[in-house]
Structure 1
Amino acid sequence: MRRWGTALAAMALAGAGLATTMGTAHAATKPSAAAACATGWGSGVKSAQPAAHKPLKNIKTSRHACFDRMVFDIKGGTAASKTGYRVGYVDHLYQDGSGDEIPVGGGAVLEVRVAAPSYDPQTGAESYPGRARKPLPGVNLTGYKTFKDTRFGSSFEGDTQVGLGVRAKLPFRVFQSGGQVIVDVAHSWNAVR
């Protein structure tokens, strides 16, 4: 009788251990919030050559689960007519043309240059109302996790320059979709929500 009791106890313990191991294995394969936000974007300079210089129509921002987004709307832009850009971290933002320093709030400054002037190259008429050294018109960053400040640099020789103040030097990506240049900055390096 004693052998059966010992054998049953041993089987019960082994079963409990197996159940615990299976539960741990299941938990390890379940995607975590960090995996859902993985970026791998890096923080190095990103750029593309322009196919055309079309006027800048608008700049807007939005919040997402893993990143904050800035979108440059290009008037008449299409998937076929790519807009050039150069985006990278700088120690200080210096205005194109004058060379004057523009203070930008935040722990790091991302300089965004888009090959789309704030005026129509054909007529000279203003297409975007940005003013040097001022925050971007219509952009409110209240409640953003990563974005802290925006400053319009200038529109000089066919390019528009914007300073984007972010919480810290974080990974970012740049891509184009139709007539837009899109800049996403992750909320953190491991991108946990």
Structure 2
Amino acid sequence: MRRSWALVAALLLAGAGLAASAGQAAAAPHSTAATAPADACSTAWGSGVKSAAHGNAEPLTDIRVGQHTCFDRMVFDVSGAKGPLGHHVGYVDAFHQDGSGDPIPVGGGAILQIFVSAPSYDPETMRQEYAGRAGKPLPGVDLSGFRTFKDTKFGASFEGQTQVGLGVRARLPFRVLQTDGKLIVDVAHKW
């Protein structure tokens, strides 16, 4: 009888510990330190091309990155953009500068090519708004400690659009979102 009570007490303590762990993970779903349950990170995003043909005359002002529990995120800021931003995002075997066709090496297991319908310069004044340089890493972007993002390269700003090469760990699912003058590209940590 004593062994039965000891077994019941041990099971209750183990169950309480599991419940506390689950509560902590649910409370911080977007924290970089939190580990999400396996089913919380499942995606149906796919890895096929995602595009939208919308015009924009406002310049790209910044590109930044962030880490989330289930994905790494890249955000293109286009201040003052009204309506949806045109884009074309898809995996490529090699990254070539738009306009010249010159090859640009991008590290990682796969390359996601991103075109955003926003030039890196002000179309009226021709003044550069985003300091990207062809073939160079994106200015101010640090990928240290990222699970999925491995490298970035600026391709070009040509004919009203900006091109970026994003090196990722593997050909993983991704999605493209838009909100308030921002184009957001999320790449999942796993399938």
Work out the CA distance in 2 between the residues paired with 1:64 and 1:129.
26
Contact 1:53–1:83 (8 Å) recurs in 2: no
Which residue is equivalent to 2:65?
61
Q: Per-residue CA shift, 1:89-111, capped at 9, x if unaligned?
A: 00000101110000000000000
What one-letter code is carried by the residue in structure 2 that aligns with 1:65? T
Contact 1:170–1:186 (8 Å) recurs in 2: yes
Gaps of 5+ in 1: 1-22
Matches within 5 A, 1:46-125: 46-78=50-82, 81-125=83-127
Work out the CA distance in 1 between the residues paired with 2:171 and 2:76.
21
Work out the CA distance in 2 between the residues paired with 1:34 and 1:122.
49
Work out the CA distance in 1 between the residues paired with 2:52 and 2:73.
19
Work out the CA distance in 2 between the residues paired with 1:178 and 1:55.
14
Work out the CA distance in 2 between the residues paired with 1:169 and 1:53.
32
Which residue is equivalent to 1:131?
133
Which residue is equivalent to 2:41?
37
Matches within 5 A, 1:20-31: none
Contact 1:55–1:117 (8 Å) recurs in 2: yes
SS of 2:39's partner is: helix
Q: CA RMSD in A?
A: 1.9
Cα drift, residue 70 of structure 1: 0.1
Work out the CA distance in 1 between the residues paired with 2:107 and 2:173.
18
Which residue is equivalent to 1:162?
164
Work out the CA distance in 2 between the residues paired with 1:51 and 1:102.
27
Cα drift, residue 75 of structure 1: 2.2
- Give the paired residue count: 162
Contact 2:55–2:117 (8 Å) recurs in 1: no
Q: Could you list the runs of 4 or more consecutive aligned residues of structure 1 that deviate by over 6 angstroms after TM superposition?
A: none
Cα drift, residue 163 of structure 1: 0.1
Work out the CA distance in 1 between the residues paired with 2:90 and 2:55.
21
Contact 2:176–2:185 (8 Å) recurs in 1: yes
Work out the CA distance in 1 between the residues paired with 2:55 and 2:134.
26
Gaps of 5+ in 2: 1-14, 27-35
Work out the CA distance in 2 between the residues paired with 1:52 and 1:139.
24
What one-letter code is carried by the residue in structure 2 that aligns with 1:35? D
TM-score, normalisation: structure 2:
0.81
Contact 2:75–2:185 (8 Å) recurs in 1: yes
Q: Per-residue CA shift, 1:66-122, capped at 9, x if unaligned?
A: 0000000002124xx211000000000010111000000000000000000000011
Work out the CA distance in 2 between the residues paired with 1:116 and 1:77.
9
SS of 1:102's partner is: coil
